[in-house]
Structure 1
Amino acid sequence: MQLLPIRQALLSVTDKTGLVEFATFLQRGGVQLISTGGTRKTLLDAGLPVRAVSEVTGFPEILDGRVKTLHPHIHGPLLADKDNPEHLRTLTQRSLLPLDLICVNLYDFGQALEQNLNLRDCVEQIDIGGPTMLRAAAKNFHSVLVVPSPDDYPRVMAELGSQHYHVSLALRREISAKAFRLTSAYDAMIAGYLEKDFGEVAT
């Protein structure tokens, strides 16, 4: 698909810089917003209509927020190839609306390291759902726009504004490469931390 229409977006961010402006821009274009936890609260406080992820999945956040977006009702629409009639048929049969835009950035593991937290508390700052969504959307750039950083908002808004809320394949592919670089660097930072010699650490 060369020009992808943006109709439904999932936003789940740690860095909320520019979030309200970006979400407001999407909402003005008729984009349905879905969100999680603190991101959703920020958007609701700004007066924006936003569905909770738990409404989409039919399942509450569990395990202190460790499991929120890891669900077929998120990853089915996220990984569906919109050029594949069978994929679209499956979404229809399961009453799933396709996801067109994923705006996700990750728990700040680097900040946890700077705070010199103990091992268990540092591990709690390892993001699982975020990288999973980023990688899925980046893989499926033919059908989904991934937005991994507030730095991407101006360019995305400029293109959507000039294309009547459609986005080009070229931009989707370019940002998907950035998303893979980000998740790779994130994993490398975590691996480097876990490889350290903690001495006799039981927790």
Structure 2
Amino acid sequence: MDNLLIKRAILSVTDKSGLVPFATFLADNNVELVSTGGTAKTLKEAGLKVTLVEEVTGFPEIMGGRVKTLNPHIHGGILADKDNPDHLETLAKHKIKTFDLVCINLYNFAEAASKGLKLKEAIEQIDIGGPCMLRAAAKNFSSVLVVPETCYYSEIQKALSENKMQADIKLRLKLATKTFELTSNYDAMITKYMKSFI
């Protein structure tokens, strides 16, 4: 599809700068907000209505937050091709709702690595769910707008404001490309760090 109407978003960010104004913009334009832990807390404290991820998945965060978004109700909602009738039929069968916008930024592994932590401590700052959601949304840019960094908030707000809350394919492809670049660099940084222990 050329233009994607933004109706439902998932937000899970480490860097919360600019989060509240961006989420408020979405909420003011009738976008349903779904969120995790600390992000949800920040949004709720700002007076925004938020659906917790565990309400969507029917399962609580476990293992100290290691597992929270790795669930078909999240990834099915991100990866479904909205132009594919088989995908839509599967969603209906399993009562999975689609996401239109995925706003994720990753755990700051560079900061953790710079502190000289022991390997076992540092690896707790390796994001798993975040890159999975980012890559899923970027792969499915035909049906999802991915927001991988805070620096894109104003550009996205402007684009959506000018196009009745619809994200065009050019913007979606651009941000998908930026996302794969970001996750590639993130993995390269982790690889370099772990090699230093070999």
TM-score interval for Structure 1 and Structure 2 normalised by the shorter chain:
over 0.9
* Structure 2 residue aligned with 1:133: 133
Q: 2:78 is paired with a residue of what secondary structure?
A: helix
Which digits, 9 at most, give the CA deviation of each residue in 1:71-91, with x for residues without a partner? 001001110000101111111
Q: How does 1:47-62 map to 2 (within 5 A)?
A: 47-62=47-62
Query: Is residue 71 of structure 1 aligned with residue 71 of structure 2?
Result: yes
Q: Pairwise CA RMSD of aligned residues?
A: 0.7
Q: How does 1:151-162 map to 2 (within 5 A)?
A: 151-162=151-162
Which digits, 9 at most, give the CA deviation of each residue in 1:106-141, with x for residues without a partner? 000000012111111101000000000000000000
Which digits, 9 at most, give the CA deviation of each residue in 1:138-180, with x for residues without a partner? 0000000000001000110001101111100000000000000
Runs of 4+ with >3 A deviation: none
* Structure 2 residue aligned with 1:201: none
* Structure 2 residue aligned with 1:20: 20
Q: 1:64 is paired with a residue of what secondary structure?
A: helix
Q: 1:10 is paired with a residue of what secondary structure?
A: strand
* Structure 1 residue aligned with 2:147: 147
* Structure 2 residue aligned with 1:32: 32
Structure (1 or 2) with the greater helix fraction = 2
* Structure 2 residue aligned with 1:88: 88
**Residue ranges of structure 2 left out of the alignment (5+ in a row):** none
Which digits, 9 at most, give the CA deviation of each residue in 1:2-51, with x for residues without a partner? 00000000000000010000000000000000000000000000000000
State percent identity of aligned pairs.
56
* Structure-1-length-normalised TM-score: 0.96
Which digits, 9 at most, give the CA deviation of each residue in 1:55-108, with x for residues without a partner? 000000000000010000100111000010111111112111110000000000
Q: 2:156 is paired with a residue of what secondary structure?
A: helix
- The residue type paired with residue 160 of structure 1 is L
- The residue type paired with residue 51 of structure 2 is R
* Structure-2-length-normalised TM-score: 0.99
- The residue type paired with residue 148 of structure 2 is P
* Structure 2 residue aligned with 1:186: 186
Structure 1 Cα separation of the partners of residues 164 and 80 of structure 2: 23
- Per-residue deviation at 1:197? 3.4
Structure 2 Cα separation of the partners of residues 111 and 99 of structure 1: 31
* Structure 2 residue aligned with 1:123: 123
Structure 2 Cα separation of the partners of residues 85 and 169 of structure 1: 20
- The residue type paired with residue 94 of structure 1 is H
